Amino acid sequence: MLVSVGADGHVSAEDVIFLRRNVFPDGVVSRGELDAIFTLAERAPQGDPEWLHFFEEIVSDFYLREEEPHGYLTNEEFDTLRARITRDGEKVSEIELRMLIKLIESATSTPPQLHEFIADALRGMIIRDDRSSGIDEHETELVRRFIFATGGAGNLAVTRTEAELLFDLNDAAAQFGAHPSWTDFFVKGVTNHLMAHFGYHAPTHEDARKTHKFMTDHSTNAGGFLKRMLSGGLSGFKKEEDSLMARRNEARERDAAVAETVTPLEAEWLADRIGRNGDLHESERALIEHIRDLGAELPPALKTIIDRAA
């Protein structure tokens, strides 16, 4: 019955209901089923929104639950996934790209190679010579999902590599045009990179594995451990907790003070990227206006650029 689904290259919302109820009622639970869903995506890369959402959810869930602790994509898993997607030298299709982005959105941590792979795929999709129009709202949303995925390289902080990607895509927007949502996202993304230098870093897969092993080891005397920890009484425990919280707050305040300052190296990088094509276009002017409005402490090199663009 699966052979008939997507025979015309399109999977409908009704087809997705059939798949959920009759083919994958428990999701993808074996390599054979994974092969089947990828074959269907290759045969029918287009479809109703329900098909795109179903594929990205069911495949990403398989990879993140394949082994414990759940939520981690290992280097070995990424290698097999990349080999599957780039079979015969093919480019990543949009439905596969959406799945990869869903993977890093849902994951606790993913290999850096996956992040680089997705960035290159986005460049290939958006920066191409045969474009008849600019970056649309749908593509802007894909890039936004990628940049702010929690399992990505910088979590919620935009990394230098991601900021470079934004400028590369913005060059395409300057040439072919872009949806109004692109300028707003570009400004916020680059500003995030300049101002946010700290954030959450997921524990490594090995650390998570050890934690998972401890938590699932019923031979561990958790009661004895808690008894020793609380031997000084709840007041002593509370005192230590307050002290730890105070130290964390002080560290965050120091990090925040650094994050509010654009460093000379960042200013040099930004000066090199802005106007690289010989002219300031709409998104770059909007970025300059936004930085000026923030009133952040700016190095002379960056202040000169902003004054010149005024």
Please tell me whether residues 138 and 82 are part of one structural domain: yes
Q: What pLDDT is stored for residue 269 in this prediction?
A: 85
Question: How far is CA 27 from each of CA 9, 19, 61, 67, 153, rounded to the nearest angstrom?
Answer: 22, 10, 8, 15, 28
Please tell me whether residues 302 and 275 are part of one structural domain: yes
Q: Which of 77-81, 127-131, 154-158, 302-306 ranks highest by mean pLDDT?
A: 77-81
Which of the four pLDDT bands, split at 50, 70 and 90, describes residue 122? Answer: very high
* Mean local confidence (pLDDT), 100-128: 92
Q: Judge whether 209 lies within some domain.
A: no
pLDDT of 216 over the 80 cut: no
* Mean local confidence (pLDDT), 167-179: 90
Q: Judge whether 78 lies within some domain.
A: yes
Q: What pLDDT is stored for residue 214 in this prediction?
A: 43
Q: What pLDDT is stored for residue 298 in this prediction?
A: 65
Domain boundary among 143, 161, 195: 195
Distance separating alpha carbons of residues 217 and 203, to the nearest angstrom: 20
Q: What pLDDT is stored for residue 224 in this prediction?
A: 55
- For the chain, how many structural domains are there in total? 3
Q: What pLDDT is stored for residue 203 in this prediction?
A: 53
Which of the four pLDDT bands, split at 50, 70 and 90, describes residue 309? Answer: low
**232-281 residue pLDDT tens:** 555 554 555 556 556 555 544 444 444 456 677 777 788 788 877 667 78
* Mean local confidence (pLDDT), 193-221: 54
Please tell me whether residues 250 and 294 are part of one structural domain: no
pTM of this structure:
0.74
Q: What pLDDT is stored for residue 221 in this prediction?
A: 57
* Pairwise pLDDT comparison (46 vs 291), residue with the higher score: 46
SS (H, E, C) the chain: CHHHCCCCCEECHHHHHHHHHHHCCCCCCCHHHHHHHHHHHHHCCEECHHHHHHHHHHHHHHHHCCCCCCCECCHHHHHHHHHHHCHHHCCCCHHHHHHHHHHHHHCCECCHHHHHHHHHHHHHHHCCCCCCCCECHHHHHHHHHHHCCCCCCCCCCCCHHHHHHHHHHHHHHHHHCECHHHHHHHHHHHHHHHHCCCCCCCCCHHHHHHHHHHHHCCCCCHHHHHHHHCCCCHHHHHHHHHHHHHHHHHHHHHHHHHHCECCHHHHHHHHHHCCCCCCCCHHHHHHHHHHHHHCCECCHHHHHHHHHHC
Please tell me whether residues 188 and 226 are part of one structural domain: no
Which of the four pLDDT bands, split at 50, 70 and 90, describes residue 168? Answer: very high
Please tell me whether residues 249 and 270 are part of one structural domain: no
Residue 166's domain comprises 2-195
Please tell me whether residues 240 and 184 are part of one structural domain: no
Token digits of residue 142: 């894909």
What percentage of the chain exceeds 90 in pLDDT?
42
* Pairwise pLDDT comparison (14 vs 265), residue with the higher score: 14
Please tell me whether residues 239 and 175 are part of one structural domain: no
Q: Judge whether 203 lies within some domain.
A: no
- CB 24 within 8 Å of CB 61: no
